[in-house]
Structure 1
């Protein structure tokens, strides 16, 4: 027998588990939905005393109430904020816990408060300023749940119940740091990812391949993953399917990630797919120039990396083989290739990244070796949102915008982004500015949808868009899909950009 201990997320109480719990008990499993103090459980007179430790104690009390019996295992399930008290309790009762299930939640670390997982950067900043104070975060209205996660698939009646039973979140539960000793670090784990919010097993695997340090722990044999085609509340939208996932997780089922081959560099550090001239860079601040062997001021192509990328990533993006490969390729064709590092470390950092790009363009256009009236910008992946500024007010010297496998609308899984950075909203003002979009056939669905949204908006306003399709290529294909099709796409993209620069 399995004893499932279900811990709800922010603003919610035990009712959210009702249908899933019923399906689990029908199969003979034991289910305990935890009523967290002040939200689903009793609200003490001194509500301002409720903090994360209070909720950890709530989970510990349920663990201690579950009788020990041969063959019985406890599975702790934490939904969004609920993973914080789950991990705190597992750390103190590691010998009692058989598995931890992360349900569409973050990856809490020792010393980090739950505030870090609040999806809205502006709200995070506001709440951080209240550290050390009392108070509550109001529960969402019916139309406000989307701010906290995708509501796709949740029936209207269930959304009504969710809203009616919602309670404010005690502020100290978000501001108190989680403290872990590491006692539960080796426990089996399962991640349940909800695709409608933009998360997927493929996305996590790519993060592992990328070398993201916090994800390497999930490549162990004791870690499994499941996906559900729904939003952030699968216990309301797909209760039967979610119950089956929990049963399979308890049995150790699910997808296992592939650890990076220690003998191979991460995918983004593998060689560029083309042989390009070994042109040295000239570095100034956060900008690198690759200069052609040509007389007179030359046009320039500025290659803008994606993200968010960790501030600790080494090498930094301007030294990644794909970016240096494009820049050297451009220089070999007679134009100045430019790369830069910008500060897109978090989705809240798009304004900072835009400032860095502005600074690079000012530097490049002032260089006497550059024809400041003939500039192209080429964006990659998450850098695509930065296109919006240049679509909205294209200067006369900007001759072309290009984007490869771009993200062209904010992805819900990453959190809210400043409304300024929505290319589909800006493209009607682009006028005759030429656009070159390289679209990969094996794109993640959530990213592909943003490209389609942008292309639809472009067609509606008559924007000048050329689409280069690479049907069998993946996101960031230049170092992983070393095929004639991929090479041809890079050649075609470069040729299109150079034609608009009249080179």
Structure 2
């Protein structure tokens, strides 16, 4: 018989696993839904007068593992719960058949749980409350604040109310104390349960592995499997039956393995769908200029990649076929194509990436071969959030903003709820600035929602948006879907942007 030890996330206890535990028991497994010390709403200490910390919870799980009589133990961690799970597994690896991460990353040795908290406001509050090194707690979220922790998609009004009513304050030491690992847990079979409505998916994992950063190669280990669930961050409440099925299959060694997929050429490194003539290319710092044959100052199109792109990814985005292809294509039509490596290496770095783009634009506009009063900005994928600053208050030299399969509002699990990077909220400031939006019909639902939000907001304020649809196109269609329809969409978008720059009439 398999024993599942279910460890809840921040502000919650074993009660969140009620339906999952019942389903596992009905399937013939043993389920232990754990409420850790300080998470019952009655006692924030460990019985000895000291506030509960991460080590308190690790010790509790170790004792439970030692008491479990079943041969195979599967440790399941959600949100904060993965930290004590991995800590306990590291100390009792011989007892653990598998670790399951439910919508949460893999913490490393020395990482505090705070590192995986998605929302910057929550992180800052924890650090502020922790000043002085004392104990204390982080108050439980109000009903409207759960979105800071992730998507509430799939939660009924009743479930969300119950989550709020039963939530308790979280001991600060559980967030701030580092996780200490020997490396034993890293050798155990692992499964990731990815909730697509929260912005994670198998496709995202494969893209990260395909970037080539050594930090993500462990995800391609054949001992690592993945499942997608079409729900938000709390599947134990929103999709308990589906989660039971996934946990049983994970314990049996099933699940998607990314190793086979990454043996092929990653999607972002496949050829650009249009064969373009090679043009001269010059590199200055993080900026590449793709130069046309035409003499005199020429208009420029600056292409802004998405991400996050790991710092160790090679090649970097300005050398990816799609960006080189776009820049060379516009250079062949008489404009300067510009590609930039900005530093969006993690979701918390949008501000730094915005600074990099502003610096690159200044460099481009100062180049004597560029007409600094005729510039277009073209945002790709998650780079779409970086369009917000330019839409909110367009400078006179900005003649057009383009976006291809963009993300135009922060996804729920990204922790950017209060950020300035919300194009749909600021598009009213764009006035009559031309906006060329390429939309793909086979977009991931959580991204498509942000595009529709933007299109609706733009229509309400009368923004000048041209929508180019690629009905059978996927995210990244320029290297994934080399069809006639895809080529026609790229050609139309490029011609439209250059038309707004006056490049084709010079």
For Structure 1 versus Structure 2, the TM-score category normalised by the shorter chain is over 0.9
1:158–1:471 distance in 2 versus 1, CA, 3 Å: closer
Equivalent residues in 2 for 1:360-379, closer than 5 Å: 360-379=360-379
1:388–1:426 CA contact under 8 A, matched in 2:
yes
| 2-structure distance, mates of 1:19, 1:487 | 49
Counterpart residue number, 1:450: 450
For residue 498 of structure 2, what is the aligned residue in structure 1? 498
Q: Is the 8 A contact 1:34 1:58 kept in 2?
A: no
Where does residue 50 of structure 1 map in the other structure? 52
Contact 2:112–2:175 at 8 Å: present in 1 too? yes
Give the direction of change, closer, same or farther, for the CA distance of 1:179–1:481 in structure 2 (3 Å limit).
same
Report the CA distance between 1:117 and its aligned residue. Answer: 0.5
Q: Give me the whole-angstrom Cα distance separating, in 1, the residues matched to 2:27 and 2:428.
A: 56
- Shift in Å at residue 260 of structure 1? 4.5
Deviations 1:334-387 (A, max 9, x none): 111111222222222222222222222222222222112211111111111111
Distance 1:284 1:234 in 2: 47
Give, in whole Å, the separation in 2 of the partners of 1:206 and 1:111.
26
**Aligned partner of residue 472 in structure 2, secondary structure:** strand
Q: CA deviation at 1:132?
A: 7.4
381-390 or 32-41: bigger deviation = 32-41
**For 1:440 and 1:113, how far apart are their aligned partners in 2?**
39
Q: Is the 8 A contact 2:149 2:413 kept in 1?
A: no
| Mapped pair 1:66 → 2:68 | yes
Shifted more, 212-221 versus 420-429: the winner is 212-221
Task: Tell me the equivalent position of 1:440.
Answer: 440
Aligned to 2:74: 75
* Aligned-partner Cα distance in 1 for 2:354–2:262: 35
Match of 1:84 in 2: 83
Superposed, 1:13-24 pairs within 5 Å as 13-24=13-24
Paired residues of 1:190 and 1:249 also in contact (CA < 8 A): yes
Alpha-carbon distance in 1 for matches of 2:165, 2:447: 34
C-alpha separation in 2, matches of 1:154 and 1:445: 17
Note closer, same or farther for the CA distance 1:170–1:46 as it changes in structure 2 (3 Å cut).
farther
Q: For residues 171-212 of structure 1, give each alpha carbon's deviation from its aligned partner in whole angstroms, at most 9, with x where no partner exists.
A: 222122212222232322222222221222222223233335
**How far did 1:332 drift?**
1.3
Q: How many residues align?
A: 499
Shift in CA distance, 320/48, structure 1 to aligned 2, threshold 3 Å: farther
User: C-alpha displacement at 1:273, in angstroms?
Assistant: 2.4
Mapping of residues 75-474 of structure 1, within 5 Å = 75-128=74-127, 130=130, 133-134=133-134, 135-262=136-263, 264-474=264-474
Q: 1 CA distance for matches of 2:261 and 2:212?
A: 8
CA contact under 8 A between 1:407 and 1:451: conserved in structure 2? yes
Asked whether the equivalents of residues 435 and 465 of structure 2 are also in contact (C-alpha less than 8 Å), the reply is yes
String of CA shifts for 1:247-286, please: whole Å, max 9, x gaps: 2222223333343454x54332333222223223222232
Report the alpha carbon displacement of residue 90 of structure 1 after superposing the two structures with TM.
0.9
**Farther-moved stretch of structure 1 (358-367 vs 211-220):** 211-220
Measure, in 2, the Cα distance between the counterparts of 1:322 and 1:417: 30
The answer to whether the 8 A contact 1:435-1:466 is kept is: yes
Over the aligned positions, Cα root-mean-square deviation in angstroms equals 2.1
Q: Distance in 2 between matches of 1:235 and 1:371?
A: 56
Contact 1:99 1:188 in 2 (8 A): yes
Q: Deviation of residue 224 (structure 1)?
A: 2.5
CA deviation after TM superposition for structure 1 residue 131, in Å? 7.0
- Per mean C-alpha deviation after superposition, the further-off stretch among 7-16 and 239-248 is 239-248
Distance of 1:155 and 1:413 partners within structure 2: 19
Q: CA deviation at 1:31?
A: 1.3
Unaligned runs of 5+ in 1: none
1:25-36 matches, cutoff 5 A? 25-36=25-36
SS of residue matched to 1:259: helix
Question: C-alpha displacement at 1:417, in angstroms?
Answer: 5.0
2:404 and 2:170 map into 1 onto residues whose CA distance is: 41
Q: Determine the C-alpha separation between the residues in 1 that align with 2:407 and 2:89.
A: 37
1:331 is paired with a residue whose SS is helix
Whether the aligned pair in 2 keeps the contact of 1:347 and 1:417 (CA below 8 Å) is no
Q: In structure 1, the residue corresponding to 2:272 is in which secondary structure? A: coil
Q: How far is the alpha carbon of 1:157 from its aligned partner?
A: 3.5
